[in-house]
Amino acid sequence: MDDIPNPSLTIRPGEKLAVVFGGSGFLGRRIVKRLLHRGIAVRAASRHPDRARGEQDHGELFTAIKADILDQDQVAEAVSGASAIVNAVSLYSEHGDLTFERVHVKAASGLATAARDASVESYIQISGIGSDPSSRSRYIRVRGGGEEAVTAAFPDAIIVRPAVMTGTDDAFLTSIVRLVRVLPVYPLFGSGDTRLQPAFVEDVAEAVARLASGTAEYRGRIFEFGGPRVYTYRDLVREVSRLLGIRTRLVSVPFPAWRALATFAEVVPGAPLTRNQIELMERDNVADTEQPGFHELGMEPRDIDEVVRAIREKS
């Protein structure tokens, strides 16, 4: 298997090539598919190209390559000839030399620099709602620092901040569905008043594809993508229960108790709960109405009911 871009993907004059880093991930592989559906040639760059390759069926427009975003030589090879770059690489828990700072700041800056040096027209950085370089939360602070590092290297970069994303293979809504089904009492984060605006991952992928294939008017802007409805966490659990036809009893669990549990859970490999997740659940996750979003791209986002039905049918 080649570790550099597949030379068989020949780009004809005037044809666009988008390179999606993290092209085998939860959001990245969907962005790849949406770009292909728009007739754009795509190079999916990731450490696991077989995962990306197995998802796609546009052989003449698609190639999957092995490219580690932490390796600047591989990054430079991967961006060669591209007209658009999407950085959908994300890290939710640190392990070994994979730290938030290294992935979300240093690597993102390196990719943006390589894109600039390769005269790439459009660069899209996937971040998240609430990213703030001055936050007390290290994870949230690093995501904000990543945005700053990217725009310093590539001033016209488009920053995309999705709300918590849902899908049939997500780590959020599927967990709520599973717990509602098996627990006699559902534990809420705090009092359950945190406000959330879940966005369907397929809608976010389509929005990113439109930005990557769009005009120069989008460049240098921040887009925040939230679903059509804002829930409190309590109401979200109740709505999931209603859609499943289950009556659920809710109980408040203070955040200090969750933090203590997460501290213990993090020593277990593949732990389903981390302190960073707890910190995120202490903050509202709602799109800023002052920033452009789905509607500016001519889209009507879908609510969680479609996702919950699909999860129910899948399980």
* Domain assignment of residue 181, yes or no: no
List, for residues 165-200, the tens digit of each pLDDT value. Answer: 999 999 999 999 999 999 999 999 999 999 999 999
CA distance 250 to 238: 9
CA distance 276 to 137: 8
* Domain assignment of residue 86, yes or no: yes
Q: What is the mean pLDDT of residues 76-96?
A: 92
CA distance 288 to 306: 24
CB 166, CB 225: distance < 8 Å: no
Please state whether the predicted TM-score (pTM) of the whole model is above 0.85.
yes
Task: Judge whether residue 6 has pLDDT over 70.
Answer: no
* Domain assignment of residue 97, yes or no: yes
Least confident of 93-97, 157-161, 237-241, 302-306: 93-97
Query: What is the per-residue pLDDT for 4?
Result: 37
For 86-147, give the DSSP string.
EE----SS-BTTB-HIIIIIIIHHHHHHHHHHTT-SEEEEE--TT--TT-SSHHHHHHHHHH
Query: What is the per-residue pLDDT for 314?
Result: 82
pLDDT cut 90: percent of the chain above it: 78
Please give the single-letter amino acid code of residue 236.
L
* Domain assignment of residue 232, yes or no: no
* Domain assignment of residue 236, yes or no: no
* Domain assignment of residue 307, yes or no: no
* Domain assignment of residue 182, yes or no: no
Matching residue, tokens 């004059």: 13
Q: Indicate left, alpha or beta for 272 from its phi (over 0: left) and psi (-120 to 50: alpha).
A: alpha
More confident of the two residues 22 and 50: 22
**150: phi then psi, degrees, rounded to nearest 5:** -65, -45
Q: Is the dihedral of CA 5, 211, 93, 270 positive or negative?
A: negative
285 burial type by CB count under 10 A (0-12 exposed, 13-18 middle, 19+ buried): buried
Task: State the average pLDDT for the chain.
Answer: 91
The one-character DSSP state at 184 is S
Task: Judge whether residue 53 has pLDDT over 80.
Answer: no
CB 69, CB 89: distance < 8 Å: yes
Domains identified in the chain, total number: 1
Domain enclosing residue 108, as ranges: 17-163+200-226+287-301
Supply the CATH number for residue 59's domain.
Answer: 3.40.50.720
Task: Judge whether residue 116 has pLDDT over 80.
Answer: yes
- DSSP bridge partners of 18: 42, 84
CA distance 287 to 282: 16
Q: What is the mean pLDDT of residues 205-222?
A: 93
Helix count and strand count (H, E) for the chain: 12, 13
* Domain assignment of residue 89, yes or no: yes
**310: phi then psi, degrees, rounded to nearest 5:** -65, -40
Query: What is the per-residue pLDDT for 97?
Result: 84
